[in-house]
Each structure stands twice: as C-alpha cells, then as structure tokens.
DNA sequence: TCTGGGGTCCTAGGACCC
DNA sequence: TCTGGGGTCCTAGGACCC
C-alpha cells in the first residue's frame, strides 16, 4: 500500500490532500471538528508540527511531506524543523487494521494464495493462476530455467500485467486507496520491483530485466540488508546490487559468515526460493512503552510499578483474545542512554494469567541493573502454545514416555 | 530536540542428556 | 597431559522488517 497510514487519514480528511501530512506521536490531538453555523459546513482545526514537543517518531509521511525530507522513523522534533507547517495526525491503528483486512480480502477474492507481511504488505503466489491460464505449464513467470523466447514470454508478460491490474483495481474499489504491485519470478525480486514505480506502481519484472533494472540500485534495497550490512558493504567498496553480484562470494563469506555471505551473493543475482507462506502461527506477543520522561527505579517506583503491571495485563489480554498461552516471559528495559537489555525466564507450564506474567517478569527485573534512568519498559511472552490444547502435565508425559531401553540402563530405571 | 511499537530470525555459549 | 559426538533447551543480544 502507498503511504498507507497517511492515505487512510486522507480518506477521512480529504481537505488535507496536497498538503504535507505526517502521522505519528501518541493518540492525543485528534483534529477538532467545528460546524460553521452560517454554511453548515464542517470545519476542522489541525495541529501542525511547529509546536510539537515530545518523543514521537514519524510512522508515515505523505509524498508532499517526503519531498521536504520527512520520512518514516524520523524523530518528530527533527521533522518539525524540516516541515513546521506539515499537519500532524495521531496514529489510529484500529482504523488501519480495518482497512488492512479490507484490502487483503479484496486481493484474496481474486488470488487466494497470499502471505501476510504486516499491516500494509502481502505476497501473492500466482503460480496456479498462471497454470490455469494455460501459460508456461507449471513454470514460474520468467522461468527459473533460463531466458524466455518469443510468444511464451509475451503471454507471460500479458498475464502478469493483467493480474497486477486486477489486484490494483480490486484494492481501489474496496478501499479507495492506491497500491504498488510488482510481478516477478520470486518474492525477493517482487519486493524490490514493487518500489520501482511507487506510488500507484505496476511493474512486471522478468529474469532478463535484472541487469538493467535491479543491478543499478543500492544494496540497501534488498530486503534483509539493513543499515549495518550496508555500511560494512560500503567499506568493501560495494554500493550497488550489481557491485554485490560481481563481488567474490568467498570475500562475502569471509566478512559476513557462511550463511549470510552466501545469501547476499544469491540475492544480488535475483535468486530466491522461499515459498509464499499462506499460514503461520505467532511466535511471541509483547507490549512496550516509552515514557514521556525518563523514570528512575527508586524515585519513580510507584509509577513504574503501575506501568509494569499494566503492560503485563495488556499482554495477558492479547493472549486471551488470540487464544494462546506462553512459557517464556521476557522483560525489556531501555536506559536513558538508549542502551537496551533483555531478560527472560521460562516457566514449567504455559500461562495467560497477568499475575503469573507479572511475577515472572518481576523475577527478571531483579537480574537487571537499575542505577540509570529508564526510558522504555516492555513485557514479552514467547514459546506460545494454543490455549485450547492441554499442556502435557507430568502424568500425561509419563504415559507418553516409551518403556526404558535395556540397551542403556540408568540408575533410575 | 535525538531516536515508537510490534514483530521475526539468527547466533553463540552453557547446561544438560544419551 | 588429555579430555567424543551428537542432540535439545535456555538465555542474551542484535539485525532487520513493517
């Protein structure tokens, strides 16, 4: 989806279209609605970035705001310096989640094999649809087997364009929003290509296009190469994906390890065999909060304790709502110098209970230094287990254990 | 005036087991 | 002066993504 949160807000406040708008900060400052008694027209007053003071970051900026240098993850104070007149709207996750479900359902109605990639992104597997269209058999678009020739390549390109156009139309009809779609031989290439013509993009990328369209791009555009890898590659004189493709794989392995180094080489050549995963179970659930001012374990004990308990309750609520229980309780602390520590401990049996979670997280807290002031506190639960299924009790486990092997008698047999 | 919140996956060492 | 070879689970941190 294009500038997703901001685009959802523009549906609500169409009068902001064309203005730089930034989504971020807390859930305060909803625009005030005023009805003009003369015309009956609804007028709203929006707050601008100008007088913002606080710890928030930009979650999404409209393209007009991006033109001023305001982008996701930028601190709102810095954003205010760049674009004081930009309108600031609070994030409304509930609205975005609803719209997210809506656009995903619209795509799913045409192509059922979709992989969720967070609130505003999906992968779609078109392999079956391609076969159903009678093109290229079970081959993927672009083929993994070399270059396309003649009419087959043309038929695939036409199919890809039509599939992408169908998705874009379905999403627009369901939500009124634009998105960018790329059809490519695999997820890695589709992800990179979907950014090439944003916003409202439609890209069909085949193997033959990699040299011309992918290799000139910076390595950072590869999903999985972040700021750290980017900086280290830069140190090796590798800036573009083409540079990375030309690099000696042995050098990459030496600098980044066997697994990561080999993966980088493959990625630069556009190779990726990951399937589209249409179902997955959550691994962990967490809640965290950054305080408006840094708190001290001793001086602000009561307030910290209240927030701590609240976080545990929210994790517990999430577990119950989603139908999970977990065994590993984790604590996260960020100090005023931004240094972050975590501690966790694993219980014998999974729990959903806020009191159990609070007690376990409290034990974790005892293992963490508390001299410095704290800016963030978080509670996490992992090793999740469906709440409906009974956790094997000691008695059940004993019944499942096979009879002791005579080959390896032990003291306890 | 620094830097949100919710996630995933990987690595690496140590404990422990057979 | 020497000390296996697997395996799993747990913990802490870090990179990365949306």
Helix, strand, or coil (residue A237): coil
Helix, strand, or coil (residue A344): strand
Please, are residues A87 and A29 in contact by the beta-carbon 8 Å criterion? no
Q: Smallest Cα–C1' distance to nucleotide B3: which residue has it?
A: A75
Q: For A377 and B2, how far is CA from C1' in angstroms?
A: 19
Global model pTM greater than 0.85: yes
Does the nearest atom of strand C lie within 7 Å of A226's Cβ? Answer: yes
Q: For A233 and C15, how far is CA from C1' in angstroms?
A: 15
| Torsion angle of C-alpha atoms A194, A200, A202, A207, degrees rounded to 10 | -20
Give residue A404's pLDDT. Answer: 39
* Phi, then psi, of A134 in degrees rounded to 5: 75, 25
Give residue A148's pLDDT. Answer: 53
How do beta strands A340-351 and A324-335 pair? antiparallel
Task: Say which of A115, A121, A234, A313 is annotated catalytic.
Answer: A121
As a whole number of angstroms, the distance between CA A300 and CA A360 comes to 21
* Phi, then psi, of A238 in degrees rounded to 5: -105, 110
* Helix (H) or strand (E) segment spanning residue A311: helix A301-322
How do beta strands A374-386 and A284-295 pair? antiparallel
Whether A64 is catalytic is: no
As a whole number of angstroms, the distance between CA A336 and CA A351 comes to 32
Q: For A74 and B3, how far is CA from C1' in angstroms?
A: 8
Give residue A409's pLDDT. Answer: 35
Mean pLDDT, chain A cut into blocks of 10 residues (413 residues total):
97 95 78 81 87 91 96 94 95 95 97 96 96 70 53 91 98 98 98 97 97 98 97 97 97 94 97 96 97 96 97 98 97 97 96 97 96 97 91 55 38 29
């Amino acid at each position: 989806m294009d500038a997703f949160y901001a685009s959802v807000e523009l549906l609500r406040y169409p009068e902001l279209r064309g203005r730089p708008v930034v989504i971020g900060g807390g859930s305060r400052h909803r625009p005030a609605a005023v009805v003009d008694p003369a015309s009956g027209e609804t007028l709203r007053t929006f707050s601008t970035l100008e007088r913002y003071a606080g710890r928030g970051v930009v979650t999404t900026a409209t393209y007009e705001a991006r033109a001023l240098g305001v982008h996701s993850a930028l601190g709102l104070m810095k954003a205010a310096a760049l674009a004081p007149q930009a309108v600031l709207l609070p994030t409304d996750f509930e609205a975005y989640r609803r719209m997210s479900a809506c656009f995903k359902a619209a795509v799913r109605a045409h192509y059922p094999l979709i992989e969720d990639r967070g609130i505003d992104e999906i992968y779609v597997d078109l392999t079956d649809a391609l076969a159903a269209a009678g093109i290229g058999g079970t081959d993927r678009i672009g083929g993994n087997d070399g270059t396309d020739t003649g009419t087959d390549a043309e038929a695939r390109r036409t199919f890809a364009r039509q599939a992408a156009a169908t998705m874009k139309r379905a999403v627009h009809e369901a939500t009124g929003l634009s998105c960018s779609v790329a059809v490519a031989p695999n997820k890695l290439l589709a992800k990179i290509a979907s950014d090439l013509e944003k916003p409202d993009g439609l890209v069909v990328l085949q193997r033959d296009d990699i040299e011309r369209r992918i290799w000139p791009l910076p390595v950072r555009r590869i999903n999985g190469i972040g700021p750290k890898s980017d900086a280290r590659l830069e140190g090796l004189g590798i800036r573009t994906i083409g540079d990375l493709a030309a690099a000696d794989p042995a050098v990459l392995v030496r600098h980044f390890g066997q697994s990561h180094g080999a993966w980088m080489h493959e990625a630069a050549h556009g190779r990726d065999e990951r399937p589209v995963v249409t179902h997955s179970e959550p691994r962990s659930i967490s809640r965290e909060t950054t305080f408006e001012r840094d708190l001290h374990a001793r001086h602000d004990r009561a307030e910290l304790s209240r927030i701590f308990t609240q976080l545990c309750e929210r994790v517990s609520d999430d577990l119950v709502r989603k139908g999970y229980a977990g065994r590993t309780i984790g604590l996260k602390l960020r100090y005023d110098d931004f240094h972050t520590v975590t501690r966790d401990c694993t219980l014998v049996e999974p729990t959903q209970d806020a009191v159990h979670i609070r007690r376990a997280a409290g034990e974790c807290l005892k293992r963490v230094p508390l001299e410095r002031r704290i800016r963030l506190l978080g509670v996490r639960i992992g090793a999740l287990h469906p709440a409906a299924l009974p956790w094997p009790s000691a008695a059940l486990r004993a019944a499942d254990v096979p009879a002791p092997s005579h080959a390896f008698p032990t003291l306890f047999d």
